[in-house]
């Protein structure tokens, strides 16, 4: 899946389609990063969500989360979460 932003460029999420093994690995990685919403701020959570995807090599380009603009991380997180949500949806597209 290709995601595009005028300011932040174009990325490809390499796991297409997103399978159960990818989802499970992603959430295990989030746990390792300590991404509990009640324990951290929204920007920290977004950063950990993107870090999890980066650590699992989901994106076609490297992303240094610590050195990125916060808006870029929030955008990437939103796109990753939307992609996960679509993969986990049981709605029939027909």
Q: For residue 87, how many other CB atoms are within 10 A of its CB?
A: 16
Q: Please report whether residue 75 resides in a domain.
A: yes
SS3 32: helix
| 58 in any annotated domain | yes
Question: 60 in a domain, yes or no?
Answer: yes
Range of the domain at 26: 2-88
61 found inside a domain: yes
Task: Note whether residue 93 is domain-resident.
Answer: no
Count of structural domains within the chain:
1
22: in domain: yes
Evaluate whether residue 94 is within a structural domain.
no
Q: Where are the beta strands (DSSP E) in the chain?
A: 2-5, 9-12
| One pLDDT digit (tens) per residue for the chain, 94 residues | 999 999 999 999 999 899 999 999 999 999 999 866 678 888 999 999 999 999 999 999 999 999 999 999 999 999 999 999 999 998 876 6
pTM: 0.90
The verdict on residue 10 lying in a domain is: yes
């Amino acid at each position: 899946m290709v995601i595009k932003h005028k300011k932040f460029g174009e990325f490809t999420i390499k796991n297409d389609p997103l399978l159960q093994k990818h989802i499970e690995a992603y959430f295990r990685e989030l746990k390792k990063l300590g991404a509990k919403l009640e324990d951290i701020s929204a920007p920290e959570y977004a950063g950990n969500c993107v870090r999890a995807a980066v650590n699992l090599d989901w994106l076609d380009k490297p992303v240094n989360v610590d050195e990125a603009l916060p808006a870029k991380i929030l955008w990437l997180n939103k796109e990753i979460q939307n992609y996960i949500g679509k993969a986990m949806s049981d709605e029939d597209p027909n």
